[in-house]
């Protein structure tokens, strides 16, 4: 049994079954604090790790909105769950080119990831949450595949589904048509909105999920070695995720009084912001990479790859301009 599996089975024996939310929270905090799960040797790959074009387009979107806001010099770059720091590094290269000289604040709970991020971004300051980002800064904020790692609750009818320990295995205590909700994600979205309201700025949220709430559906899944695995096996040794309900996040944000963009698919958004031109420019400079650049663009944008399942949504404080790429 995995070390966390032992701890969780002991906890269930003494406290009774755990909610899916508590199980997912425990698994992911252990998982992220004990390894770097990204890349070929890890369990999964994310858009910024596929190619620098991803971070550059995000950086271009932030650079554009910062310039149109009048280049406020109180603005800082803030990223939630930056992984290896690749997105931050690619985005900041573009931002610095247009004269952005602001601080870099990374919200990251994993010490393993903080170390990697600090090597790539020596200027970065680290935070457990948004609340400690110093006051009187406006925000250029990004979160890629951050929300999907935060836990969901699951219900079968009105019953909250739990994880029990039976006969030497973890098992769900109720099966049937599952509905999900995520107060933790909504609370995080509300916190982002509160900070934007207080300080000004924009936030770009990218994740895999759906826009319309789906009445029914169990989307909890585990990723290990780049393949799907069973969520109740190997606790703490595989990545647990669940689809992000963008509609629910948008509602939470609107309740704070912060404007939310439409939800765009990642492929459409990247194409609208010129990934084709960026790919051509890179290929012209590095002709030997033409095929790998084209392949990366396909992986990021094609509907059968990340293009449709992944979604992008932008928030802004009322006095800031809209982030580009969300028109009809
Ligand atoms: N954005 C990166 C990594 C995605 S993996 C990329 O696209 O490659 C999820 C990231 O969120 C990891 O860095 C993980 O350590 C971090 N994370 C997970 N839960 C968190 C929490 N509650 N607060 C801050 N960071 C968290």
Ligand 1 center to residue 146 CA distance, Å? 5
pLDDT at residue 215 tops 60: no
Is the minimum distance from the CB of 266 to ligand 1 under 6 angstroms?
no
Q: What does the alpha-carbon distance between residue 258 and residue 190 come to, in Å, rounded to a whole number?
A: 9
Mind giving me the DSSP string for 210-267? ESSPPSS----EEEETTEEE-TTSSTTSSEEE--EEHHHHHHHHHHTT--B---EEHH
Share of the chain above pLDDT 90, in %: 95
User: Whose Cα sits closest to atom 17 in ligand 1?
Assistant: 81
- Cβ(146) to ligand 1 under 6 A? yes
Spacing of C-alpha 231 from chain mean position: 19
Alpha-carbon distance of 81 to 107, in angstroms, equals 6
Beta-carbon contacts of residue 77 (< 8 Å; ≥ 6 apart): 62, 88, 91, 92, 95, 100, 102, 103, 104, 105, 140, 141, 142
Atom of ligand 1 nearest to the CA of 112: 15
Q: What is the pLDDT of residues 34-58, one digit of tens each?
A: 999 998 889 999 999 999 999 999 9
For 29, 83, 126, 129, 221, the CA distances from 109, given in Å and listed in that order, are 8, 10, 9, 8, 22
Cα torsion 293, 297, 299, 304: sign: negative
**Residue 310 β-bridge partners:** 208
Residue 83 near ligand 1, beta carbon < 6 Å? yes
Which of 149, 184, 204 has most ligand 1 atoms within 8 Å of its beta carbon, as the pocket-test mutant? Answer: 149
Best residue among 36, 43, 83 to mutate for probing ligand 1, ranked by most atoms within 8 Å of CB: 83
Going from the Cα of 17 to the center of ligand 1, the distance in angstroms, rounded, reads: 27
* Residues whose CB is less than 8 angstroms from the CB of residue 16 and which lie 6 or more positions away in sequence, other chains included: none
- Nearest ligand 1 atom to the CA of 143 is 1
- Mutation probe of ligand 1 site: the residue of 49, 52, 59, 81 with most atoms within 8 A of C-beta: 81
Query: How close is the Cα of 167 to the center of ligand 1, in Å?
Result: 34
Please report the pLDDT score of residue 29 as a whole number. 94
pTM score of the predicted model? 0.97
Residue 150 DSSP one-character state:
S
- Distances in Å between the Cα of 323 and the Cα atoms of 100, 127, 145, 209, 313 are 17, 25, 19, 20, 9
pLDDT of 210 over the 90 cut: no
pLDDT in tens, 154-192: 999 999 999 999 999 999 999 999 999 999 999 999 999
Reading the block at residue 51, the tokens are 């190619």
Q: How far is the CA of 44 from the centre of ligand 1 (A)?
A: 13
User: What does the angle CA 134 – CA 136 – CA 139 come to, to the nearest 5 degrees?
Assistant: 80
Confidence at residue 196, expressed as pLDDT on a 0 to 100 scale: 98
Token pair in block for residue 248:
């629910």
Residue 216 confidence class, pLDDT cut points 50, 70, 90: low
Q: What is the mean pLDDT of the chain?
A: 96
Rounded Cα gap, residues 273 and 15, in angstroms:
51
pLDDT digits (tens, 9 = 90+) for 270-309: 999 999 999 999 999 999 999 999 999 999 999 999 999 9
Q: Report the alpha-carbon distance of residue 103 to residue 123 in Å, rounded.
A: 7
191 CA distance to ligand 1 centroid (A)? 16
- The single residue listed with the structure tokens 């790998």 is 292
Strand partners, 105: 78, 125
Looking at residue 324, the DSSP 8-state letter turns out to be T
> What integer pLDDT is reported at residue 213 of this predicted model?
66
Q: Is the pLDDT of residue 211 over 90?
A: no
Ligand 1 in reach of 48 Cβ (< 6 A): yes
Tokens standing for residue 65: 């909105």
Q: How many angstroms separate the CA atoms of 286 and 99, rounded?
A: 26
Structure-token pair, residue 253 = 């944000």
> Looking up tokens 């698919």, which residue turns up?
265
């Amino acid at each position: 049994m995995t070390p966390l599996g032992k701890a969780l089975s002991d906890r269930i024996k003494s406290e009774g079954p755990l909610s899916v939310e508590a199980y997912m929270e425990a698994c992911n905090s252990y998982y992220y604090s004990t390894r770097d799960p990204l890349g070929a040797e890890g369990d999964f790959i994310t858009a910024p790790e596929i190619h620098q074009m991803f971070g550059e387009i995000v950086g271009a979107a932030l650079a554009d909105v910062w310039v149109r806001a009048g280049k406020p010099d109180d603005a800082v770059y803030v990223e939630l769950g930056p992984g290896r720091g690749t997105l931050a590094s690619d985005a900041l290269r573009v931002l610095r080119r247009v004269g952005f000289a602001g601080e870099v604040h990374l919200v990251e709970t994993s010490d393993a990831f903080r170390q990697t991020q600090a090597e790539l971004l020596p200027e970065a300051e680290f935070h457990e949450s948004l609340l400690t980002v110093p006051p009187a800064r406006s925000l250029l904020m990004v979160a890629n595949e951050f929300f999907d790692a935060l836990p969901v609750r699951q219900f079968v009818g009105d019953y909250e589904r739990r994880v029990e320990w039976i006969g030497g295995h973890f098992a769900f205590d109720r099966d049937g048509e599952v509905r999900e909700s995520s107060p933790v994600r909504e609370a995080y979205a509300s916190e982002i909105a509160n900070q934007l309201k207080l300080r000004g700025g924009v936030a770009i949220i990218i994740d895999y999920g759906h826009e319309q709430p789906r009445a029914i559906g169990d989307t909890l899944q585990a990723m290990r070695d780049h393949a799907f695995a069973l969520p109740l096996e190997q606790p703490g040794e595989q990545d647990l995720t669940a689809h992000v309900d963008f509609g629910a996040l948008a509602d939470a944000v609107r309740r704070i009084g912060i404007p939310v963009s439409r939800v765009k698919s990642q492929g459409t958004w990247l194409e609208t912001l010129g990934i084709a031109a960026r790919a051509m420019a890179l290929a012209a400079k590095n002709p030997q990479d033409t095929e790998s650049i084209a392949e990366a663009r396909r992986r990021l944008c094609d509907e059968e790859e990340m293009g449709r399942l992944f979604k992008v949504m932008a928030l802004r404080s009322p006095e800031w301009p809209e982030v580009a790429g969300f028109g009809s």
